[in-house]
Structure 1
Amino acid sequence: FKSPIITPAIKSLAGHDEDISEYDLIHQNHIPKQDWDIIRSLALNLFDFGQKMAQDRGLILVDTKYEFGYYNDSIILIDEIHTPDSSRYFYESDYQEAFSAQRDPNQLSKEFVREWLILQGFTGKDGQKVPEMDDKIVHQISERYIELYEKITGKRFIKGDSNNINSRVENNILAYLDNRKA
C-alpha cells in the first residue's frame, strides 16, 4: 500500500475492541473531528517511525495497533507500541521469496500463539477455558519475544531476576519518581 490503512476501533463493553468507520467515530460523537485528525496524524507518524526502525534492523513492520486516550483534556498515547503483542513483523530477507511462493512469510508477533490456541480448540468465546501452556510452548514464546527484543534494540537480552517481582517493580517506580524530582 502506498499509504497505511487506518482502522479505528472503540472499546467494547465486553470482549474485543470493535472496528468503527472514521465517519461513525466522529458522527456518533465518540470523538471530535479535530481530535481524530490529531490521532490519525500521530498514528501515521508513529507507523512511519516504526517502519524505518524495523527496516534498519532487517524487518518489515506489517501492521500495528496504537491506543490513545485523554489525560487532563490532552490526547495521549497509552499502552505499548511496536511490541509483538501489538504488531506484526516479517523478516525482510524472507518476505519476497515467501510472497513469490504464495506462502506466509516468517514473522515475529503473537500470531503463532493465536495459531497454537486454535490448534488446542480455543476460540476465545465467553466462558471458554484457556488451554494450559506447557514449558515447551512457554519457552517458544519467550524465544520469539527475546529475538524481537534483540533485533529491535540491537542489545542482548539479559534475563532479570524473577524473585521478588513486586519489590523490583516498586523500587523501579520509586527510582523513576526520585529522578523526576531531581
Structure 2
Amino acid sequence: MSNTIMDTNFQFVGQKSIYKGKVREVYTLEKDILVMIATDRLSAFDVVMPKGIPYKGQILNQIATKMMKATEDIVPNWLLANPDPNVAIGIACEPFKVEMVIRGYMSGHAAREYKSGKRMICGVPMPEGMKENDKFPNPIITPATKAEKGEHDEDISKEDILKRRIVSKEDYEILEKYTKALFQRGTELAVKRGLILVDTKYEFGKTTDGQIVLIDEIHTPDSSRYFYAEGYEQRQSRGEAQKQLSKEFVRQWLITNGFQGLEGQSVPEMSDDYIISVSERYIELYESIMGEEFNKANIANIQERIGQNVSDYLKKK
C-alpha cells in the first residue's frame, strides 16, 4: 500500500504553520489562506489505524467540497478552490472547539448509550421504548468536544458549553441554526439517492472579520451515517440490522477483532486484502452518495502531484 498518503511535510510559499489532525493536515499560509490535505489515514474510535486506505483522501475531499457547494446558499463556508483531488484551499478561520453532531435516528453511539440504560445524551432526553435505528420524533443535537489526534471526543451538553464559555450563547444559537439547516438539506440530497441521512457532524469556524462559516468535511462517510431507504421499514419491523453506508463496517470489524479504542487494546492487523476491500467499499460509498462514477486520480507519485498542483495554484493568486 505504498501509494497512499499517510503524512505530508510540504513547504509552500508563505507557509506559517502546519496542523495535523486525525485525517486532515492543514497548512496555514499568509493572507489568511489555508491548504487542507485529506490524507488516506483511517481513524476509528478516535484512533488512527497504522495503514492507509487507497483513494480514501480523494473520496472524502471530493464529497466534502461538492457538498459544500450544494449547501453554500444556506450556510457560508470556508472553501475557495480545489486544485488537487486531495486538496481544498480556503479562508483561515478560528475553529470552534465543539463538533455539532445531529442525529435523526438512534444509531451508533446513541444506540450504544441507550442499550446501556441511559435515556439522556448531551442533556437531550431520548424517548422510552425505542429500538436501535428507530427515527427520533425530531432530530437531536448532541455536541462533542473536539479532540486532538489520539484523544477521544467527549459528549457535552449545550448547557455545559455555555457554562464553560466554550462558545458564546449568541454564536451557539447560530451554530444550532446552521446545523439544522444543513441536516435538512443533507436529508433532501440523500433522498434523491435513495438514502437516509441518519446522523452527521458539522464543524464551524469564525473568520477574522467575525463571520461564522462551515469548515472541514460535510456529509462524507467518515462524518455521517447513511441507510438505504429501500427496505428500511421492513428491516426495522423484523428487528434486522439496517443496510448502511458509513465507516461503521470498519468499526464493526475492529470490535469483532477485539478493539474498541480502550486502554490496553491493540489495533488488529489489517491485511492487504482487507485494506483493498475497505478502499473498494469507500468507492461504493462515494458513488452511492454522489450518484456518479468515481474517477481514480493518478497515485503513482501522490506527494509530488499534490505539491505541484498546490504550488501552481498559489502562483496564480
TM-score (norm 2): 0.53
Task: Give the Cα–Cα distance (whole angstroms) in 2 for the partners of residues 124 and 87 of structure 1.
Answer: 20
Task: Give the Cα–Cα distance (whole angstroms) in 2 for the partners of residues 70 and 127 of structure 1.
Answer: 38
| CA drift at 1:75 | 2.5
Task: Give the Cα–Cα distance (whole angstroms) in 1 for the partners of residues 255 and 307 of structure 2.
Answer: 37
| CA drift at 1:173 | 2.1
Residue 83 of structure 1 corresponds to: 220
Task: Give the Cα–Cα distance (whole angstroms) in 2 for the partners of residues 70 and 16 of structure 1.
Answer: 24
Task: Give the Cα–Cα distance (whole angstroms) in 2 for the partners of residues 78 and 54 of structure 1.
Answer: 20
- State the SS of the aligned residue for 2:159: helix
- 2:288 matched to 1:151? yes
- 2:177 matched to 1:41? yes
Equivalent of residue 8 in structure 1, options 143, 162, 168? 143
Task: Give the Cα–Cα distance (whole angstroms) in 2 for the partners of residues 41 and 24 of structure 1.
Answer: 19
RMSD: 1.9
More strand by share: 2
Tell me which of the two structures has the higher relative contact order, counting C-alpha pairs closer than 8 angstroms and 6 or more residues apart: 2
TM-score (norm 1): 0.89
Which AA in structure 1 matches 2:289? I
Which AA in structure 1 matches 2:248? E
| CA drift at 1:175 | 4.3
Q: Deviations over 1:42-98 (max 9, x none)?
A: 111111111111100100000011122334243232221111111110001121121
Contact 2:258/2:265 (<8 A) preserved: no
Q: Percent same amino acid at aligned positions?
A: 52
**Any stretches of 5+ residues in structure 2 without a counterpart?**
1-135
Residue 51 of structure 1 corresponds to: 187
Task: Give the Cα–Cα distance (whole angstroms) in 2 for the partners of residues 88 and 129 of structure 1.
Answer: 26
Residue 19 of structure 1 corresponds to: 155
More helix by share: 1
Aligned residue pair count: 180
- 2:245 matched to 1:113? no
Of residues 42-51 and 158-167 in structure 1, the stretch that sits farther from structure 2 once superposed is: 158-167
Of residues 132-141 and 52-61 in structure 1, the stretch that sits farther from structure 2 once superposed is: 132-141
Of residues 142-151 and 47-56 in structure 1, the stretch that sits farther from structure 2 once superposed is: 142-151
Task: Give the Cα–Cα distance (whole angstroms) in 1 for the partners of residues 257 and 275 of structure 2.
Answer: 15
Residue 61 of structure 1 corresponds to: 197
- State the SS of the aligned residue for 2:262: coil
- State the SS of the aligned residue for 1:84: coil
Task: Give the Cα–Cα distance (whole angstroms) in 2 for the partners of residues 131 and 71 of structure 1.
Answer: 41
Task: Give the Cα–Cα distance (whole angstroms) in 1 for the partners of residues 264 and 311 of structure 2.
Answer: 39
**Any stretches of 5+ residues in structure 1 without a counterpart?**
none
- State the SS of the aligned residue for 2:141: coil
- State the SS of the aligned residue for 2:268: coil
